[in-house]
Amino acid sequence: MKISAILDIDQVWADIESYIEGAAKYTHGRYTADDIRQTFKEGGQQLWIAYDDKIYGAVITEIVEYPQMRALVMHFTGGIELPKWKDAMLSVLRSFAKDTNCKTIESFGRTGWKKVFSKDGFKSKFMFYELPIEGKDNAI
């Protein structure tokens, strides 16, 4: 499996759009696939693809500067047949993080990622909770 950074998202959009739509679904209304595409085009993020005979997956990352450290944040991950490309992708992301002086790779997402990445050394540090402001879900 090969992993490449892509500078122009439009070059691969037809091949990754459904993967990005899948990732956008789990933002629960915060992003659409087109929002993710536009944010990438504004700059400051990296797009990585896993491919062989076709594109199997895509990851959008961003370097974030905290007051005490720099982190590589995996914002959106989507694709098919994850076991085929996960290890190769993590290897490239780790190298990129190291080369850019990041101290950690971080992400947030659905709880299923905990199982996927636990063998790679990722640790769950906190949960993200949301309280809707309107509707029946805001009853305490």
Q: Output Rg (C-alpha) for the chain, integer angstroms.
A: 16
Give the count of beta carbons closer than 10 Å to the beta carbon of residue 33: 20
Render pLDDT for 62-86 as a digit per residue (tens, 0 to 9). 999 999 999 999 999 999 999 999 9
User: What Cα–Cα distance (Å) separates residue 64 from each residue in 14, 16, 50, 129?
Assistant: 28, 24, 23, 22
Position 5 scores a pLDDT of 98
pTM (2 d.p.) = 0.82
38 pLDDT higher than 90: yes
107 pLDDT higher than 60: yes
User: What Cα–Cα distance (Å) separates residue 109 from each residue in 12, 26, 34, 63, 91?
Assistant: 24, 7, 19, 17, 20
Q: Letter for the amino acid at 42?
A: E
Position 24 scores a pLDDT of 95
Class at the top of the CATH hierarchy for domain 2-121? alpha beta
Which residue in this structure is represented by tokens 């370097």? 63
At 120, is the secondary structure helix, strand, or coil?
Answer: helix
pLDDT band at 106 (very low <50, low <70, confident <90, very high): confident
Q: In three state form, how does the secondary structure of 98-112 look?
A: HHCCCCEEEECCCCH
Position 135 scores a pLDDT of 61
Q: How far apart are the first and last CA of the chain?
A: 49
Q: Letter for the amino acid at 88?
A: A
